[in-house]
Amino acid sequence: MSATPLLEAYDVTRRYRTGESDVHALRGVSLTINRGEFVAIVGASGSGKSTLLHLLGAVDTPDSGRVVFEGRDISTLSDADATRLRLLRVGLVFQRFYLMPTLSALENVSLPMAEAGLGKTERRARATTLLSFVGLGERTSHRPTQLSGGEQQRVAVARALANQPALLLADEPTGELDAATGAALIALLQQLNADGLTCVLVTHDAALARSARRVITMRDGRIVSDEQSSESIA
Amino acid sequence: MRAILAFASLRRHPMRTLLAVLGLAIAAALLIDMVMLATGMRASFRSLLTSRGYELRVTPRGTLPFDTEATVGSASALVESLRAHPDIERVSPSLGSTVQAQRADRARSAFVLGTQPDLQGEYTVVNGRAPLGTDTLPREVIVNAVFLTALGATLGDTITMSTGRSAQLRLSGTPTRVVIVGEGRFLYVPPGLPALSAPLAAVQAFLGHAGRDRISLAMASVRADTSSATANAERTEVVRLWIEKTHARVTAISTETAIVQVEERLAYFRQLAIILGALSLLIGVLLVTTLVSLSVNERLGELAVLRAIGVPRSGVLQQIMLEGFMLGMAGILLGLGLGLVTAQWLNAILRDFPGLPADLDFFVWSAEAAWKSLAMLLVASTVAGALPAWRASQMRVAQALREEAIG
Q: What is the 3-state secondary structure (H, E, C) of chain A?
A: CCCCEEEEEEEEEEEEEECCEEEEEEEEEEEEEECCCEEEEEECCCCCHHHHHHHHCCCCCCCEEEEEECCEECCCCCHHHHHHHHHHHEEEECCCCCCCCCCCHHHHHHHHHHHCCCCHHHHHHHHHHHHHHCCCCCCCCCCHHHCCHHHHHHHHHHHHCCCCCCEEEEECCCCCCCHHHHHHHHHHHHHHHHCCCEEEEECCCHHHHHHCCEEEEEECCEEEEEEECCCCCC
> Which pLDDT belongs to residue A107?
93
Please spell the DSSP secondary structure of B64-96, one letter per residue: -TTTSS--BSSHHHHHHHHHHSTTEEEEEEEEE
pTM of the model: 0.68
- Residue contact B310–A116, C-beta within 8 A: yes
> Which pLDDT belongs to residue A194?
92
> Which pLDDT belongs to residue B134?
64
Mean pLDDT on B148-164: 86
- Residue contact B307–A83, C-beta within 8 A: yes
Distance CA A107, CA B389 (A): 23
- Residue contact B404–A163, C-beta within 8 A: no
Q: What is the pLDDT of residues B363-377, one digit of tens each?
A: 877 788 778 878 888
Mean pLDDT on B309-338: 90
Residue type, B94: S
Q: What is the pLDDT of residues B379-389, one digit of tens each?
A: 888 888 888 89
Task: Say what the ipTM of the complex is.
Answer: 0.89
Residue type, A212: A
> Which pLDDT belongs to residue A233?
43
- Residue contact B308–A59, C-beta within 8 A: yes
Q: What is the CA radius of gyration of chain A?
A: 17
The reply to whether A234 falls in a domain is no
The reply to whether A52 falls in a domain is yes
Q: Tell me the shortest Cα–Cα distance from B26 to chain A, in angstroms.
A: 28
Distance CA A180, CA A194 (A): 21
- Residue contact B309–A107, C-beta within 8 A: no
CB A100 within 8 A of CB A111: yes
The reply to whether A117 falls in a domain is yes
Mean pLDDT on B216-233: 82
> Which pLDDT belongs to residue A232?
47
Q: How many CB atoms are closer than 10 A to CB A41? A: 27
- Residue contact A83–B4, C-beta within 8 A: no
Q: Taking 70 as the threshold, does the pLDDT of residue A230 lie above it?
A: no
Q: Tell me the shortest Cα–Cα distance from A64 to chain B, in angstroms.
A: 16
> Which pLDDT belongs to residue A46?
85
* A120 interface with B at CB cutoff 8 Å: no
- Residue contact A114–B1, C-beta within 8 A: yes
- Residue contact B9–A102, C-beta within 8 A: yes
Mean pLDDT on B249-278: 81
Q: How many CB atoms are closer than 10 A to CB A182? A: 21
> Which pLDDT belongs to residue A92?
92
Q: Tell me the shortest Cα–Cα distance from B385 to chain A, in angstroms.
A: 20
pLDDT band at A143 (very low <50, low <70, confident <90, very high): very high
Identify each DSSP E strand in B104-186 by its residue range.
106-115, 123-128, 140-143, 158-162, 175-186
Q: Taking 70 as the threshold, does the pLDDT of residue B358 lie above it?
A: no
Q: What percent of chain B has a predicted confidence (pLDDT) above 70?
A: 94
CA-based nearest residue in chain B for residue A45: B406
DSSP state of B209: G
- Range with the poorest average pLDDT among A20-34, A210-224, B215-229, B309-323: B215-229
Q: Taking 70 as the threshold, does the pLDDT of residue B57 lie above it?
A: yes
> Which pLDDT belongs to residue B173?
60
- Residue contact A159–B12, C-beta within 8 A: no
More confident site: B155 or A229: B155
CA-based nearest residue in chain B for residue A159: B309
Mean pLDDT on A67-96: 92
Q: Tell me the shortest Cα–Cα distance from B399 to chain A, in angstroms.
A: 9
A–B CB contacts, 8 A cutoff, strictly below: 79
Mean pLDDT on B31-50: 78
Total domains in chain A come to 1
Q: Taking 80 as the threshold, does the pLDDT of residue B320 lie above it?
A: yes
**Domain segments of chain B as ranges:** 2-47+265-406, 62-248
Q: Which residues of chain A are within 8 Å of residue B393 when distances are taken between CB atoms?
A: none
- Range with the poorest average pLDDT among A71-80, A114-123, B164-173, B362-371: B164-173
Highest mean pLDDT among A36-40, B171-175, B324-328, B347-351: A36-40
Q: Which of B11, B305, B312 sits opposite A102 (nearest CB)?
A: B11
- Residue A54: which domain range? 5-228
* A164 interface with B at CB cutoff 8 Å: no
CA-based nearest residue in chain A for residue B303: A98
- Coil, strand or helix at B31: helix
The reply to whether A184 falls in a domain is yes
- Residue contact A83–B399, C-beta within 8 A: no
- Coil, strand or helix at B252: strand
Q: What residues pair up with B222 in beta bridges, in sequence order?
A: B88
- Residue contact A160–B309, C-beta within 8 A: yes
Q: What percent of chain B has a predicted confidence (pLDDT) above 90?
A: 8
- Residue contact B305–A94, C-beta within 8 A: yes
Mean pLDDT on A96-125: 91
- Coil, strand or helix at B257: helix
> Which pLDDT belongs to residue B122?
79
Q: Which of B307, B309, B320 to mutate to test the interface with A (most CBs of A within 10 A)?
A: B309
> Which pLDDT belongs to residue A82?
94
Q: Tell me the shortest Cα–Cα distance from A230 to chain B, in angstroms.
A: 31
- Residue contact B313–A101, C-beta within 8 A: no
For chain B, which residues lie within 8 Å of any Cβ of chain A, measuring from their own Cβ?
Answer: 1, 4-5, 8-9, 11-12, 301-302, 305-313, 315, 397-399, 401-402, 404-405
Distance CA B45, CA B33 (A): 17
Q: Taking 50 as the threshold, does the pLDDT of residue B300 lie above it?
A: yes
CATH of the domain at A127: 3.40.50.300
- Coil, strand or helix at B45: helix
Q: Tell me the shortest Cα–Cα distance from A172 to chain B, in angstroms.
A: 10
> Which pLDDT belongs to residue A1?
46
Q: Which residues of chain B are within 8 Å of residue A16 when distances are taken between CB atoms?
A: 399, 402
pLDDT band at B40 (very low <50, low <70, confident <90, very high): confident
- Residue contact B8–A98, C-beta within 8 A: no
Q: Taking 50 as the threshold, does the pLDDT of residue A234 lie above it?
A: no
> Which pLDDT belongs to residue A36?
93
Q: Which residues of chain A are within 8 Å of residue B8 when distances are taken between CB atoms?
A: 100-103
Q: Tell me the shortest Cα–Cα distance from A98 to chain B, in angstroms.
A: 6
**What is the overall mean pLDDT for chain B?**
83
More confident site: B311 or A180: B311
Q: Which residues of chain B are within 8 Å of residue A115 when distances are taken between CB atoms?
A: 1, 310-312, 315
**What is the overall mean pLDDT for chain A?**
89
Mean pLDDT on B72-98: 88
